[in-house]
Every structure is written in structure tokens, then in C-alpha cells.
Chain A
Amino acid sequence: MLTGEPMHLVDYTNADAVKQVPTRNGFGEGLVEAGKRNPNVVGVCADLSESTRMQGFRDTFPERYIEVGVHEQLLVAMSAGLAAAGKVPFIASYAMFCPGRAWEQVRTTMALNETNVKIAGAHAGVSVGPDGATHQAIEDIAIMRPIPNMIVVVPCDSTQAKKATLAVAEHWGPTYLRFGREKSAVITTEDTPFEIGKAQIFREGSDVAIVACGILVYNALIAAEQLKAEHGIEALVLNNHTVKPMDCAGVIDVARRCGAVVTVEEHQVAGGMGSRVAEILAENEPVPIEFIGVRDHFGQSGTPAELIEYYGMGSGAIKEAALRAYERKRQR
């Protein structure tokens, strides 16, 4: 875990200071930079170059951009072939279709085959909004996490998304990067460190630990401020961006220090980041855990804000979960 290190966050309590940018934008910028650094980086897309933000790479490196059309299984398997021949393919679609539609190709041609393919899954979570349930991937972490060799990274904002893209470009291994469609709060800065597999303490506290990933890290931070203002409770917030390999020591450490945990993710509670946290803590540091996420429902059309609230992932719901976890700790 990155501990004691300054995180150089923006003043997220000042809404005016917080810029709103989709995490997929960070991917687009990171990929162009990765392409400049490594001539073997290749972009492959399944007819979604604009909305996955791959068009920047396409326009900068047309000779290294491959369009496959609406062929998500091919997107994965063909790219495994590119990787076997020495390329570093970044492949993009909506998370629902890749990895969603292409799971067996991901398992066989990427993971078992040990090929250095990087999936960028855009439009993950219910915050996709008006497109509705068909396009809202909320099971993708669950299908990727159990696959041996797979790296799974869920950046918390667009600035971190860019760093994560550059980091995985240089780190060998089949990888899944998860991005959102909607504009979301930018809480990190150029100076905020990033390392695959190293969770980050974004706010110190000793009463309860909120372990979050993705765009909901911001909601977790807001909930922590509310807990302090309204209840005098100091919540630690851990940005647990690498779902696999998870920072086990970091998760155990914050659970030990706080004695109660809330996990927060824009994903089904079943099989997600929080499930992995629960596995680690059940074996090593059993403390009360509350889970924030979608509970066995599909999404639907609506505004991102409406849907985040409706499915219980707003800062108020996180605050309530933290109070429950804190109370369970006190009653032990």
C-alpha cells in the first residue's frame, strides 16, 4: 500500500474546484502517450472509436490502428494473435460487449494463452444512464476477477485513468481496464502517485474504513466528510483501484486500524471488488463489513445521478452503511 505518502488530491470538499471529466477521456489521452513511448502499442476497436475515446490514437497512429467492426469475440482472439507476434494491443468496446460478450476468448486466448492484451471496457456501471440496462455493465468485474493471470484495474477519475493506461502499457500481462461514460469528479492531480496493485489512502481515519474503487471514490470521500460533520466519526477512505491483484496487506491494514469496513463500487455486490475484500478479511481480519453496490438488479434508463441514488450508491447511502458498520463494531 502507498501509505504516509502525500496524495496531492484536489480540494474535493469545494465543489467549484472539482472538474468533471469522464474516465474514458483519461484512457484516450493515456493511449496516445503510450503509443508515443512504444511503437509496438496497437489500437484495436469494434466500431466504437469515438465513444471509447480511441479516436485520438486512431488519428495519431493510423498505421497502428485496426478496425474490426462489430466483432467482439474477434476483437479479443485476433488481438491475442497480434500479441503473440509481439504487439501490445489495447482493445476497446463497451464493457458489456468486451469482456461481456467475449468471455471465453478472454479466458482462453488471453489468459490461459498468456498474451499481453489490454482490454479497455468503456461505459461500465449504471452511470451509462439513458441507454439502459443492455448497455450498463455491472457484472464485468465478477467475470474477470476469477481468471488466473488477469489484472483488473478500476481508476477513480480521468487523471488516474491516464496513469493507469500508461502503467499497464509498460506492465506485462493480460489486463482489464474499466472506465465510465459519464463525466465524473476529478479528485487526483498530476502529482498523485499511481502503482498497479498499491491501494491509496485518500483520507485518514480510525473509526471506519471505506474501501472504494472507480468513480464512487468521490462519493466515499463526500460521505466521509458528512460522517465527520454530522457524527464526529473519522472515516478512512482507501482508493482500491487494483481489484486484481488486490493490495491484500493494504486492505488488512486499514481493517485492523478501523475495525469496520464499507466497500463501495458501481457493480453488483455479488463477485465484485467488495467480494474480494470480504475474502481477504474473512481469512485474515474478520471485521464487520457493509457492501455498497447493486444488489441483484439490472439497471434501467435514467440520468446517471438518478440511477446512482436509486441503486443505493450515493454519498448518503455510503454514510448510512458506514454508520451500520461502525455500530456493529461497537457492539462486538
Chain B
Amino acid sequence: MVRMAEISQATLTELEATSNKIRQSIIEMLTEAGSGHSAGSLDMADVFTALYFHVMRNDPNNPEWEDRDRLLLSAGHICPVRYAAMAHRGYFPIQELMTLRKFGSRLQGHPERIRLPSVETTSGPLGEGVAQGAGMAYAAKMDKKDWRVYVVTSDAEHQAGLHWEAAMFAGHYKLNNLINIIDRNFIQIDGDTEKIMTLEPLADKYRSFGWHVLECDGHDMQAIVGAYDSAKAVTDKPTVIIAHTIPGKGVGYMEGDYTWHGKPPSAKEAEEALRELRASLEEIEAKA
């Protein structure tokens, strides 16, 4: 496990509150859309909050800023969390989240680079994020640019062959400006990742491909930020952060249940989820 980041209590509380609000938006937009992926979207809210609000060099008023850090969501199906994080960060109005998956929306069911500035890649077909991110990281090194490439992958997409082609490439060329974080929630559409197709020992696989490996609690903001701080200090390898997460995190009846991988809550279920999340927000704010 990683060293905790030294961030102030005020910042910590703010990040946790933001993460909670992003979860509320995810519930609202998925319910409005009537389809989409709940569990992974909810469980990556803390990581996306850390990235957009603390870790990454980004500017919502200049999304295609040449020197921005690049964030690639390889597991495109959990795009609600990215869209919600972008909206809360100020990239577009929060109200636009309600257009998710609708005709004419910039918020496609799986993200498209040409429709929404700074999503960097078109994703959904699994296993392609690290490959494209490695290309960007290589180009940055060729041009002696100091921006970094952050990739978010699901655990199950590590079953795709292309992902390991990319892992081999990034290790071979020592792309230390490439940081991949894995949503290690142990679920995929058909069930438990270890029953469908064993991924473990995942950390050893990465080590043998020449990566620096970190593990953290994917719901502990200090641990997430601490992991990214450590990754940025690595000079000769790409880094992977295995973020241990609970699918559906924040909504009691979804937590740990793989059947929420690919469906949205009903209106009634959404109400219950939002009630729970609002209560959590009050607790967070009471700490401040």
C-alpha cells in the first residue's frame, strides 16, 4: 500500500464532498438515460475526483490546452463518471448530463473524441486505452513535453490481448510519463473476474512487463493522491496503480453486487440511492 498524501483536512473534505456530488449526478443521469453502467461508474468517482480536482494539469476553460495532461478512459462504458466529473469541474453545464445516451448529445453512450473536447480517445471496445495512451506518451517524449498521460482501465479489460501488447511496449520504452490506474472491483458482466477468467496475480504480471506497481484503497482520497504522487516520482518505468474498489460504492444496495454492472437504477431505486448519498454528504460536511 502507498504512502498517504499530505493534504489538508479542508482539501480532503472538499474532494470527498465533490466525489459525493459526482455520485449523485451519476445516479440522476443513468436514471434519466434508462440504460448504462452503474457499478463501475460509482466506484471510480473518487479516482476521477482526485484526477480532475487535484492531480491532473487541466483547464476546463481551455479543454484542448496543448500542455494539458491527457486522461484516457479505456473502459468507456463507465463514462458517466467522467462526464459527471467534467461537468462538476466546469467543462460544461451540469444540466447537460441529463442528455446522456440521447440523440444528438455530446455525451454518447460510449465516449467519442470528436464529439466532446478533451476526452482524448473514442473508447468502449476494451483494451485499447493503454495502447493509445502509450502512443501519446511516446510522442510527448519525442517532443520533450512534460505533460503526462493518465489512463483509467477496468480490471476485466486486462483479459484483452491488445492491453498486454501495450503493457509490453510501455515497459520496453520505459514510458514513465504513462500512469495507468485499474478499477479493481473484481466484477465483470458475467460475474466474478476470477471465475470468468483469472487475472491474478495481476501485480506480478505488471512487474514482469517492466512496470512500477502501486496498490491503494480506491475510496481513500489520501491514498489515491498519494499513489499518484509516488507515480510521478518514477523516472524509468510506467506505473500502474491497482485501486481496490467496491462496485456500486456509495449506494448500499448496489455495493458488491455484480448485477449492477450494466444497468441503471429505476426511478424508485434512484430516490433511495440519492437519499443515502445526501446523508453521506451531510456527514462529510459536518467534519469540516
A residues at B contact (CB < 8 Å): 42, 63-64, 66, 68-69, 71, 73-74, 77-87, 104-105, 108-109, 112-114
Do the beta carbons of B142 and A63 come within 8 Å of each other? yes
Given the complex of chains A and B, what is the CA–CA distance between A108 and B108 in angstroms?
14
Residue ID in chain B nearest A76 by CB atoms: B131
Chain B 3-25 residues near chain A, CB threshold 8 A: none
List 15 interface pairs A-B (beta carbons < 8 Å), by A numbering.
A69-B168, A69-B169, A73-B162, A77-B128, A77-B135, A78-B131, A78-B169, A80-B132, A81-B132, A84-B120, A84-B135, A85-B143, A87-B142, A108-B125, A109-B128
Which of chain B's residues has its CB closest to A84's CB? B136
**Could you say which residues of chain B place their CB within 8 Å of the CB of A113?**
112-114, 121-122
Asked whether B133 is an interface residue with its Cβ less than 8 Å from the other chain, the reply is: yes
Interface size on B (CB < 8 Å)? 27
Residue numbers in A under 8 Å from B139 (CB-CB): 81-82, 85-87
With A78-B169, A108-B125 known as contacts, the answer to whether A64 contacts B142 (CB < 8 A) is yes
Residue interface bits B134-170, CB-to-A below 8 A is 1, else 0: 1111111011000000000000000001100110110
CA distance A84 to B113 in the complex (A): 10
Whole-angstrom CA separation of A79 from B133 in the bound complex = 10
Tell me which residues across on chain B come within 8 A of A68, comparing CB atoms.
165, 169
In the complex, which residues of chain A have a beta carbon less than 8 angstroms from the beta carbon of B137? 81
Q: Which residues of B contact A63 (CB under 8 A)?
A: 142
> Which one of A73, A78, A112 contacts B135 once the chains associate, using CB atoms below 8 Å?
A78
Whether A105 pairs with B112 at a CB distance below 8 angstroms is: no
**B162 CB contact (under 8 Å) in A82, A85, A86, A105:** A105
Of A64, A77, A82, chain B has the most CB atoms within 10 Å of the CB of A77
Please give me the residue from chain B that is nearest to A70 by CB atom: B165
Cβ contacts under 8 Å, A105 to chain B: 128, 131, 162
Q: A73-B131, A74-B166 are in contact. Are A108 and B122 (CB under 8 A)?
A: yes
6 nearest A-B pairs in the assembled complex, by CB-CB distance: A81-B135, A85-B139, A77-B131, A81-B132, A74-B165, A78-B135
Give the residue name and chain of the A residue nearest to B66 (CB): A86
Give the nearest-CB partner of A108 in chain B. Answer: B125
Q: Is the CB of A74 within 8 A of B162?
A: yes
Residues of A within 8 A of B135 (CB): 77-85
Q: Most chain-A Cβ atoms within 10 A of its Cβ — which of B114, B139, B166?
A: B139
Cβ of A43 to closest chain B Cβ, rounded Å: 12
Q: Mark B92-118, 1 if CB is under 8 A from A, else 0.
A: 000000000000000000001110000
Nearest chain A CB to B272 CB, angstrom units: 37
Contact between B128 and A82, CB atoms less than 8 A apart: no
Selected from B112, B134, B162, B165, the residue in CB contact (under 8 A) with A81 is B134
Residues from chain A with Cβ under 8 Å of B120 in the complex:
84
Residue pair B161, A109 in contact (C-beta under 8 Å): no
Residues of A contacting B125 in the complex (Cβ-Cβ under 8 angstroms): 104, 108
Known contacts A78-B131, A80-B132, A112-B112; A73/B121 CB under 8 A: no
Q: Which residues of B contact A84 (CB under 8 A)?
A: 113, 120-121, 132, 135-136
Across-interface contacts of A74 in B (CB, < 8 A) = 131, 134, 162, 165-166, 169
> Could you say which of A66, A78, A79, A82 has the most chain B C-beta atoms within 10 Å of its C-beta?
A78
Q: Is the CB of B114 within 8 A of A85?
A: no
